[in-house]
Amino acid sequence: MEDQSLLLQYMGDTPKLRIIDFFLENRESDYSKKEIIEYTGISKTTFYKVWDGILEFEFLKTTRKYGKAQLYALNPDSTLIQKFKDLDNELGKQSMKKALEEPIPAH
């Protein structure tokens, strides 16, 4: 991942948070496990170590099958996901407020 999101900067860059953050940033689509691994930059071994925990807390929902692959999307009904969205939004507001308060350098 090139630039860390505010959520990862604030909460820490862990495999579970990378997956949740990825889906928060890509709310409108569904993805296969292979795509999630590729886009988050998590190793396959690490991904499978944390995957059951992601599903256990219902952060994601299964959407459809594409060939042999099962696709997953953010679970909008999850109260935990709502809290992550709220935190993400608040971090964005705080970051914007801080940026507006900084003086603009003279050229």
Instruction: Give the tens place of pLDDT for each residue, 62-89.
Output: 999 989 999 999 998 999 999 988 998 8
Max Cα-Cα span within the chain: 57
Whether residue 100 is contained in a domain is answered as: no
Whether residue 76 is contained in a domain is answered as: yes
Band (8; pLDDT cuts 50, 70, 90)? confident
**72 phi and psi, to 5 degrees?**
-130, 150
CATH for 63: 1.10.10.10
Euclidean distance between CA atoms 103 and 106, whole angstroms: 9
Strand order in the sheet with 69-74: 31-32, 69-74, 60-66
Q: Which domain holds residue 82?
A: 6-91
Answer yes or no: is pLDDT of 94 > 80.
Answer: yes
Whether residue 104 is contained in a domain is answered as: no
Q: Give the range among 2-6, 77-81, 91-95 with minimum mean pLDDT.
A: 2-6
Whether residue 96 is contained in a domain is answered as: no
Domain count, the chain: 1
Whether residue 61 is contained in a domain is answered as: yes
Query: In whole numbers, what is the pLDDT of the chain averaged over residues?
Result: 89
Angle (CA) 78-79-84 rounded to 5° is: 95
